[in-house]
Amino acid sequence: MSTRKLSDCCRFYSGGTPDKANAEYWKGDIPWFSPKDIKSFDLLFAKDQITDAAIRSSATRLVDPRTVLVVGRSGVLAHTLPVGITRQSSAFNQDIKAIVPNEDCDAEFIAFFLMANQDLVLRDGVKRGPTVHSLISDFLEGLEIPRVSLLEQRQIATRLKAQLAEVENARQAAQAQVGDAELLRQRLLRQAFDALDGMPHKRLGEHAHTTSGSTPPRGDKRYWSSADIPWVKTGEVAFAPITRTEEFISRQALAECSLTLLPPRTVLIAMYGQGKTRGQSAILEIEATTNQACFAILPNDTWDADFLHHWLMASYDDLRGLSEGRGGNQANLNGALLNALEIPAPDVDEQRRIVTRLKSQLAEATAIAQAAADQLAEIERLPQRLLAQAFAPPATQGEM
């Protein structure tokens, strides 16, 4: 299959930003795209709209419908190449590259070609900075695109649109299955402990020894240079057994920095942390210390560690709600809140029977979730395969 350079069939333009202080330029009816707006193939909406006066008085440019917009400067160029097509007359900022096809080129064909060659562009056509990366214009313009008739371009684009629409429907269905599988886990946990509502409950702090840790001064090498004792951070408290840690402290730090050496089977709760961390729990399977954001429940005669951990998993949303209801700038848990928890306390043998039954049910739910996640991952690989196949040489297409 013969090819031609992208610059032989397209024109390339850069955009600009109208003066933000000039109200006459803003709140018009012309979509003005920035990299954050390039989220889908069909570019129907932009966060900002500008006026005709902004077009006349700034470096931004008005382009016709069916212009290809590519993110030309952004941190996302480390891992993806956002591409879309305008569906109405639009403008764009200086971090966008506009590609206007000539009369013998189809915009959707060009856009799909760029998507098919995303890995190549990201590997060889991006100038990387500390946080922001930029497309190399000469590389983009020099890409070799298949030389096929306009009719064939449109046929390829139409076929790809239909195939990718089917893939997107399948992706959404698989994503829903993943969500349903996670809901099943939560439902099993809730059901197991809702059945204990009529049983006696005991206050955590009255029936178990609890504590938290600290962070030795980072500037004191005596506390960190000797990696003697595992030291747990809240990011490592993530609903999974803790068998190792990222960081260690010295024995001198243990002696001098208000730290407790916790035994295996201690249950940890993250009192604060980023994202989903706050309220997560884990069982410590090694002897270790923790930072000040970890709440530790030491082994005790009232609760089996697995029972307690599963109850905490079932109560995750409640714990987060408990801390959010406190007000203030940051929603954190603390020792007083956690020590006041009222936890069901059947005899330990019954707790272990409940956990054995629950673990079996959760294992089945986990298998369902994993199958759904595997299916979703396979579906998410399909678009790039379809794109690669559409632009492969005829012999290669036959092989696929």
pLDDT (0 to 100) of residue 330: 57
The model's pLDDT over 178-214, given as tens digits with 9 standing for 90+, comes to: 999 889 999 999 999 999 998 999 999 999 999 999 9
Domain final residue, candidates 87, 117, 148: 148
339 and 207 inside one domain: yes
Q: Which residue has the tokens 């407790």?
A: 260
pLDDT (0 to 100) of residue 1: 72
- Domain assignment present for residue 181? The answer is no
Distance from C-alpha of 201 to C-alpha of 344, rounded to nearest angstrom: 4
Beta bridge partners of 115: none
136 and 20 inside one domain: yes
pLDDT (0 to 100) of residue 275: 85
| pTM reported for the whole predicted model | 0.70
7 and 91 inside one domain: yes
For 241, the domain range is: 200-345
- Domain assignment present for residue 326? The answer is yes
Alpha-carbon dihedral 26, 30, 36, 42, rounded to 10 degrees? 170
Q: Domain with 39 in it: what CATH number? A: 3.90.220.20
- Domain assignment present for residue 184? The answer is no
The model's pLDDT over 249-267, given as tens digits with 9 standing for 90+, comes to: 999 999 999 999 999 999 9
227 and 121 inside one domain: no
- Domain assignment present for residue 101? The answer is yes
- Domain assignment present for residue 387? The answer is no
122 and 238 inside one domain: no
- Domain assignment present for residue 98? The answer is yes
- Domain assignment present for residue 380? The answer is no
116 and 251 inside one domain: no
Tokens of 163: 């195939």
Domain final residue, candidates 322, 345, 368: 345
Beta strand 73-74 pairing with 26-33: unpaired
- Domain assignment present for residue 358? The answer is no
Given a cut of 70, the residues of the chain with pLDDT beneath it are: 325-330, 394-400
pLDDT (0 to 100) of residue 374: 96
pLDDT (0 to 100) of residue 398: 45
105 and 25 inside one domain: yes
Number of domains in the chain: 2
Domain final residue, candidates 345, 360, 378: 345
334 and 215 inside one domain: yes
- Phi, psi values for residue 110, rounded to 5°: -65, -45
